[in-house]
Amino acid sequence: MKRTLFSVILAAGLVLGGCSSTTPSAKKTKEPPPPPELVGGQSAAYLMFQAARQWAPDVQLYFMESIDFDSLRGKEGKFAAWRASFVSPSRGRIKTYAYSVMDAQGIRSGVSHEPDQAFVKRAQQTPFYIQAIKTDSPDALIAALGDKQIKDMADKNPDSPLYFQLEATAQSQLAPAWRVVWGPSIAQSTGSAFVLADSGKFLKRLR
């Protein structure tokens, strides 16, 4: 009986000893979540277009631009956010939308919009159907860099931010075209190039 009791006590001691001798593993440091994925202009345009069609079924794209966030910069023709204006010819109104992969700088994640306004036609710019966007912004960048002068300029400014516009103006012969800009804006650019949105062909360089 004593031996049995001794065996029980010994076994319990071993179990407790085994538990106490095990050092708790160090808490794993939580890695910060990866940044949201940047998006190309073509995908962003279609996401905003779907929302714009709920406002007016006959909408056409008038203007689109990339948006750079301080916390998440654009890269290789993709950005954290885009802004686009759509025109309804039947209503004579224009409405601006934004698409963002995150909440930042007053723009909320997903598709958002501003109140519509009266649309004033301009002789130097025209709305166009979204189906004309057959070339995405990263491909437009590649096409622009195919021009030697643009490539030389880009190589001399490797840290320059990029800015993209998409519109159909007199500068692109009223054909929808990407304007790839080396700089935070056209006014602050070191150079820019036009690439046709449908064919992806390099059209011309400016400045």
Question: pLDDT tens digits, residue range 88-142?
Answer: 999 999 999 999 999 999 999 999 999 999 999 999 999 999 999 999 999 999 9
Sign of CA dihedral 178, 181, 186, 192: negative
SS3 sequence, the chain?
A: CHHHHHHHHHHHHHHHHHHHHCCCCCCCCCCCCCCCCCEEHHHHHHHHHHHHHHHCCCCEEEEEEEECCCCCCCECCEECEEEEEEEECCCCEEEEEEEECCCECCECCEEEECCCEECCCECCECCECHHHCCCCHHHHHHHHHCCHHHHHHHHHCCCCCEEEEEECEHHHCCCCEEEEEECCCCCCCCEEEEEECCCCCEEEEEC
Could you tell me the residue range of the domain that residue 201 belongs to?
A: 39-206
Q: Is residue 2 part of a domain?
A: no
Q: Is residue 23 part of a domain?
A: no
Query: What integer pLDDT is reported at residue 1 of this predicted model?
Result: 44
> How far, CA to CA in Å, does 12 sit from each of 1, 3, 6, 17, 29?
17, 14, 10, 8, 35
Mean of pLDDT over the chain? 89
Residue 70 token pair: 């301080």
Closest CA to 156 of 195, 137, 182: 182
Q: Is residue 33 part of a domain?
A: no
pLDDT per residue as tens digits for the range 168-188: 999 999 999 999 999 999 999
The number of domains in the chain is 1
Q: Is residue 18 part of a domain?
A: no
Rounded CA-CA distance 140/186 in Å is: 17
Q: Is residue 153 part of a domain?
A: yes
Q: Is residue 34 part of a domain?
A: no
Query: What integer pLDDT is reported at residue 27 of this predicted model?
Result: 58
Q: Is residue 110 part of a domain?
A: yes
For residue 207, name the pLDDT band (cuts at 50, 70, 90): confident
Q: Tell me the HSE value of 207 on the side-chain side, using a 13 A CA sphere.
A: 12
